[in-house]
Each structure stands twice: as C-alpha cells, then as structure tokens.
Amino acid sequence: MSRSPFPGMDPYLESPDLWPDVHESLISLFREQLTPLLVPKYVATLETQLVIDQISENSSAAVPDVMIAETGRDSSVDDTDTAVAIAPAPVRLRIPRIVPVRVTTLHIKRVEGDKLVTVLELLSPVNKRAGDGRKKYLKKRNAFFDSDVHLMEIDLLRLGPRMPFWEEVVPDSDYLAMVSRADERPVCEVWPLKLRQPLPVLPVPLRRPDADVPLDIGQALRTAYERARYDLRINYNKPPIPPLKKVDATWAATLVS
C-alpha cells in the first residue's frame, strides 16, 4: 500500500517521529508545484531557520517532562556506627528538554527587485506548543499582518491550539488553512478542514493585477506519501499520535483494516 488510505490528511503523519520529514517534503513539493505557475515574474524560495523548542508536555506526542520512578538505591543505613544516613530522593523527575528544530518556510518573491510578496507557513509543533517558539511565531505573524506581504498558513496538526483570530471562536475543525491578503486585512479567508474530507486547492495571492495561482495541498501530500513510502514506516494496527476522537477512530479503522 504505497498510497495513504485516508481521503485527505493522514493522521498518522502527525506523529512526532514522522512530521519533521513530512514537513520538509511538503514544503519542497509546494515549491515544485508552484514554480511553473510563477515564472517568469516570480520565484519560490525555501527559507530555513533554527528554532529552539522546549518540550514539556507529558503526553505520548512529546518527550514527557515528568517521570516518576523508584530510585533503585538501597535506602538502608550503613551498619557501621559512624555512617551518616543519606536520604534517597523519593522520586526522579525529568526537566523540560531543549531541542533545536529546523523550520522551513516558502517565500514567493518578484524577480524584479527581489521583493517579498507572499509567505507560506506550514505549521510545526514548535509553532503551536506553549512557550518561546509560539511567542516568536506569533510575533513574526503579527509583523506580516502589519506589512504589505500576503500570508498563507496551513495547519495540518490536530494537537495544540489554533492560531488566534479576531473572533474568539474559531470554527471547529481538525485542520485549518488561512489566506491573509495584504489588501483585505483584517479580513482573511479560512478553510476549516475535517479529517474525513479531501484537502483543498488553495489560492496563492500575488501582486495585483496578477491572478492567484492554485496550490493543491492534497496532491502534494499524496506525492510526498508515495515518494517517501511512509506506508513502510506507519503501523496502521496501532492508534495514531495524537489519538483520534472515538467516532473518527471507528471510521479510520474501516479504512486501514
């Protein structure tokens, strides 16, 4: 089975063991897909930066920050009269783990003047997890909102809070895509996506009067899956990480059986 059994996003690809590879594959395929539609006026470039992530969630989706275990040391007092009793630690804990994460973003620029036009962000856990990584991403996001640069944001991760919008209630969804056009802010276009539906073709805005170009994220995901043979790394007999809602887990079981 070299193709994913899911019609849209494959929830097994959200595993922390797989997602970094999936992220890099998708961003590269986005560029591969867009480049023929952009030339000769625009080019798509990959911009990579290292972000320091602090993993502190005690869930199966991350390295746990707390571990309770027996010390494994003999707590008995030395039988010599002069020995000093040393109290063993009752528990052993893990401190938050600091991990450097490579995050790649797609930039669309005009060839003339090397002017940045559109930024496409495919979110990673470091962007969504509470901590410095999320704070830095939100600061960068707000800077784009205050600029003349279009921002596209694709969230294919169920774990973690969504990026904030003016409205306090974001439409209920498993995944989310957003296009913020510089000339239409503060209004933006939002695609709430459910696990069971195919991934959409999104508009990639350019400088007026140039028309949008299409980005088929579903096709990119299918290509990434087949080229990387993720089917050989996924055990569909086990629940995905993070786990699905009960009703979705029942549905997913019919696809992978």
Mean pLDDT of successive 10-residue segments in the chain (257 residues)? 92 95 97 98 91 54 38 49 81 72 91 96 92 90 96 97 83 94 95 96 97 98 97 95 96 94
Q: Which tokens in the block code for residue 136?
A: 């830095």
Distance CA 202, CA 213 (A): 8
Q: Which tokens in the block code for residue 233?
A: 């790394």
Contacts for 194 with CB less than 8 Å, ≥ 6 apart: 8, 173, 174, 175
Q: What is the pTM of this model?
A: 0.82
Q: Which tokens in the block code for residue 171?
A: 């439409």
**Beta strands 175-180; 150-155: pairing state:** antiparallel
Distance CA 252, CA 36 (A): 36
> According to DSSP H, which parts of the chain are helical?
19-38, 125-128, 132-145, 217-228, 246-256
Residue 81: predicted pLDDT: 58
Residue 23: predicted pLDDT: 97
Residue type, 62: A
Residue 56: predicted pLDDT: 53
Residue 49: predicted pLDDT: 78
Q: Which of 223, 227, 210, 203 is nearest to 120 (CA)?
A: 203
Residue 228: predicted pLDDT: 96
Q: Which of 181, 56, 180, 75 is nearest to 126 (CA)?
A: 56
